[in-house]
């Protein structure tokens, strides 16, 4: 059984991700703990930077991927409704009628990817927000069959599965947010926040003002649900703050609009201040 999902999350324009805090406890055994962290099954205490530094980094690898290796849709709680039906029932704007063997008829749904209302379940797909192929690329190839099945049918995380129009889901296919964004621009930031659960490479992303002046991110990577602040003027870049390092600022501090685009030039979001404060999305 799946409960209805909560309301949408807030947006952080420059970073695209909802701010979060990583907690770690520093003690006097940091060096020893760092040596132990690779041993499976052990609990250690060490600074979060040390823990992150020891995470293995590998290139994505799609070798051997086949969608059938992620068994879905299943009836995990044996109530007669499989995962697809559970999501459809939970996300319906107008509840469908449920017949024998959980056959659904009628009802209405909202597809946030393309800002459409859809009548009847046949026009809907259930999308894995993080595609199965992406999961495989990032390590699911080493999971057991049971772990891949659990991932493909995850009803415990409201971000995992979403009912959307079949057209928008098939347009997305197995792409991640670097190559595909929802046609509905107002949903893009929320989509990126929900879909991105790993480091985001902002290299080549741009902020542009109303007069066409552009700031380009260089060598900036964000951990999931972290933020980066872009400052006018000169300063020393850190993991959370970057500086334009130029006398001619990209935007007017009194009033302007900053437009964010990814490295492929796709519009992500914009924000205004001064006489035209707010989002124009």
Q: How do residues 10-59 score in pLDDT, each as one tens digit? A: 223 333 322 222 222 223 333 343 344 444 445 556 666 666 666 666 67
Residue with tokens 């409201």: 158
Length of the chain: 281
* 79-93, 132-146, 237-251, range with the lowest pLDDT: 237-251
* 24-28, 63-67, 253-257, 273-277, range with the lowest pLDDT: 24-28
pLDDT of 124 higher than 80: yes
First to last CA, the chain: 35
**Cα separations (Å) of 143 from 74, 136, 140, 276?**
18, 9, 5, 50
* Rounded Cα–Cα distance for residues 153 and 164 (Å): 16
Half-sphere exposure (CA, 13 Å, Cβ side) for 212?
Answer: 0
Residue with tokens 């499989």: 82
Q: For residue range 211-263, list pLDDT tens digits in order.
A: 888 888 887 766 655 677 887 777 788 777 888 766 555 667 778 888 888 77
Residue 218 or residue 275, greater confidence: 218
CB atoms closer than 10 angstroms to residue 97: 9
Residue 60, pLDDT score: 76
Residue 45, pLDDT score: 64
b vs e for 204-231, b when ≥16 Cβ sit within 10 Å of the residue's Cβ? Answer: ebbbbbeeebebebeebebbebbbbebe
- Segment 257-274 shows an average pLDDT of 80
Instruction: Determine if residue 204 is left, alpha or beta; phi over 0 gives left, psi from -120 to 50 gives alpha, anything else beta.
Output: left
- Do residues 31 and 45 touch, judged by C-beta distance below 8 A? no
Strand, helix or coil at 188? helix
The band of 123, judged by pLDDT with boundaries at 50, 70 and 90, is very high
pLDDT of 197 higher than 70: no
Output the furthest CA–CA distance in the chain (Å, rounded).
70
- Give the start-to-end residue ranges of the domains of the chain: 67-195, 200-276
What CATH architecture does domain 200-276 belong to?
Sandwich (2.60)
Q: Per the confidence metrics, is the pTM higher than 0.75?
A: no
In this structure, the strands spanning 241-243 and 229-231 are parallel
* 30-39, 68-77, 136-145, 169-178, range with the lowest pLDDT: 30-39
Residue 38, pLDDT score: 45
* CA-only gyration radius of the chain, Å: 22
Percent of the chain with pLDDT over 90: 39
Residue 214, pLDDT score: 85
CB atoms closer than 10 angstroms to residue 126: 20
């Amino acid at each position: 059984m799946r409960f209805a999902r909560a309301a949408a999350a807030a947006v952080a324009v420059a970073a695209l991700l909802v701010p979060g805090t990583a907690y770690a406890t520093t003690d006097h055994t940091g060096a020893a703990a760092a040596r132990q962290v690779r041993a499976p099954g052990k609990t250690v205490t060490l600074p979060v930077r040390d823990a992150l530094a020891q995470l293995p980094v590998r290139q994505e690898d799609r070798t051997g991927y086949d969608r059938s290796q992620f068994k879905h849709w299943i009836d995990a709680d044996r109530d007669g409704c499989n995962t697809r039906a559970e999501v459809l029932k939970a996300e319906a704007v107008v509840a469908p009628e449920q017949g024998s063997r959980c056959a659904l008829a009628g009802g209405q749904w909202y597809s946030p990817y393309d800002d459409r209302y859809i009548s009847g379940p046949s026009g809907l797909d259930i999308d894995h927000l993080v595609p199965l192929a992406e999961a495989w690329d990032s390590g699911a190839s080493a999971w057991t069959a049971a772990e891949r099945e659990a991932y493909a049918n995850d009803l415990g995380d409201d971000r995992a599965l979403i009912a959307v129009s079949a057209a928008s889901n098939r347009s997305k296919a197995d792409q991640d947010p670097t190559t595909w964004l929802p046609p509905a621009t107002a949903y893009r930031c929320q989509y990126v926040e929900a879909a991105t659960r790993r480091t985001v490479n902002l290299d080549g992303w741009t902020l542009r003002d109303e007069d066409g002046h552009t700031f380009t991110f260089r060598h900036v990577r964000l951990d999931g649900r972290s933020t980066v602040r872009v400052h006018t003027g000169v300063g020393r870049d850190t993991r959370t703050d970057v500086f334009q390092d130029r006398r001619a600022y990209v935007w007017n501090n009194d009033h302007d609009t900053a437009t964010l685009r990814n490295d492929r030039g796709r519009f992500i979001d914009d924000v205004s201040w001064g006489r035209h404060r707010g989002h124009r999305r």
